[in-house]
């Protein structure tokens, strides 16, 4: 019994799941249950992370650029809470967990940490799925801001601009956002930019200055400082560590 969760990082495409058509772009989750078939419509260039769960063999997390077909149906209650395609409210946090899992999966000695992250991921997706199912026609102010920041994180965004977008004063906006998300709007935006920079560090050879620019930071020096405060290492150290881990994982796979 095989389930698959795709987290779409970049690009866009149209997919067909059991004859239902979905348009997918950055931040979307596509969930396929056993027995469902999925295919892309036309050409696409989509980068994604995939979590595969097998009732017998457990979980596998990998990076991929294609879509697979899932298999025979299973009536798991928790899995059935997740819709086929939606954009989770906490997509930045989900991306961070996915990325961490893709590294830990190749370190069996850290199985407990992997299991904890997996549980956190599934429950976050389920919680966001329930919000998605029950949301009203008019999205909340926080939903609007989360969507806006995800779509425009590479641009200069001011608190005044966010407050004007949802017609709230700044002080109330900060309290409301903190109550629902757990951080201020600008702190969340910084975390989102850092997470996106991690993707570029992992998947490109871009210079640090170019990455900082693409992710919306005012300067490379400010980006490096905030990155070090968050991850206790510089962007270059992070990139090198990621390369070493993926290289070791590849070697272990070949030797295994």
**Can you give the pLDDT at residue 52?**
77
Query: What CATH number should be reported for the domain holding residue 152?
Result: 1.10.10.60
User: 82 and 171 share a domain?
Assistant: no
Pairing relation of β-strands 38-40 and 85-86? unpaired
**Can you give the pLDDT at residue 152?**
94
User: 185 and 100 share a domain?
Assistant: no
**Helix 170-181 to helix 141-152 angle, to the nearest 10 degrees?**
90
Q: How far is CA 113 from CA 59, 117, 120, 214, in A?
A: 13, 6, 11, 32
- Residue span of the structural domain in which 219 resides: 141-242
CA–CA separation, 29 and 126 (whole Å):
11
**Can you give the pLDDT at residue 39?**
79
User: 111 and 23 share a domain?
Assistant: yes
CA–CA separation, 212 and 226 (whole Å):
11
**Can you give the pLDDT at residue 135?**
57
**Can you give the pLDDT at residue 165?**
92
Over its length of 256 residues, how does the chain's per-residue pLDDT go in tens digits?
678 888 888 777 788 888 788 878 788 888 888 777 777 776 666 778 887 776 555 555 444 444 443 333 344 566 777 888 888 888 888 888 888 887 887 788 888 888 888 888 888 888 888 877 665 445 678 888 988 999 999 999 999 999 999 999 999 999 999 888 888 999 999 999 999 999 999 999 999 999 999 999 999 999 999 999 999 999 999 999 998 887 776 666 566 5
User: 154 and 206 share a domain?
Assistant: yes
User: 150 and 57 share a domain?
Assistant: no
Domain end position, chosen among 134, 149, 181: 134
User: 97 and 164 share a domain?
Assistant: no
**Can you give the pLDDT at residue 188?**
93
Task: Provide CB contacts within 8 A for 130, sequence distance 6+.
Answer: 81
Query: What CATH number should be reported for the domain holding residue 36?
Result: 2.60.120.280
Alpha-helical regions (H) of the chain: 91-104, 111-134, 141-152, 159-166, 170-181, 185-203, 208-214, 220-231, 235-255
CA–CA separation, 154 and 223 (whole Å):
13
Domain end position, chosen among 105, 134, 163: 134
User: 236 and 175 share a domain?
Assistant: yes
């Amino acid at each position: 019994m095989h389930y698959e969760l795709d987290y779409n990082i970049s690009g866009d495409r149209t997919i067909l799941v059991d004859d239902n058509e979905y348009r997918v772009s950055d931040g979307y989750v596509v969930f396929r249950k056993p027995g469902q078939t999925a295919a892309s419509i036309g050409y696409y260039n989509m980068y994604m992370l995939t979590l595969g769960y097998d009732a017998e063999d457990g979980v596998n997390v990998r990076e991929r650029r294609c879509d697979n077909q899932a298999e025979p149906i299973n009536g798991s209650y928790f899995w059935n809470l997740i819709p086929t395609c939606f954009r989770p409210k906490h997509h930045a946090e989900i991306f961070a967990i996915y990325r961490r899992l893709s590294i830990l999966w190749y370190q069996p000695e850290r199985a407990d940490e992997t299991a904890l992250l997996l549980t956190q991921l599934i429950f976050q997706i389920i919680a966001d799925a329930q919000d998605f199912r029950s949301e009203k026609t008019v999205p909340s102010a926080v939903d609007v801001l989360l969507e806006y920041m995800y779509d425009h994180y590479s641009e200069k965004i001011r608190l005044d601009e966010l407050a004007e977008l949802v017609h709230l004063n700044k002080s109330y906006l900060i309290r409301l956002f903190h109550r629902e998300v757990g951080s201020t709007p600008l702190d969340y935006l910084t975390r989102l930019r850092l997470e996106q920079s991690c993707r570029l560090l992992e998947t490109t050879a871009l210079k640090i200055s170019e990455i900082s620019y693409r992710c919306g930071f005012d300067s490379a020096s400010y980006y490096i400082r905030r990155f070090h405060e968050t991850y206790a290492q510089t962007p270059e150290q992070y990139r090198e560590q990621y390369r070493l881990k993926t290289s070791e994982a590849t070697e272990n796979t070949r030797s295994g």
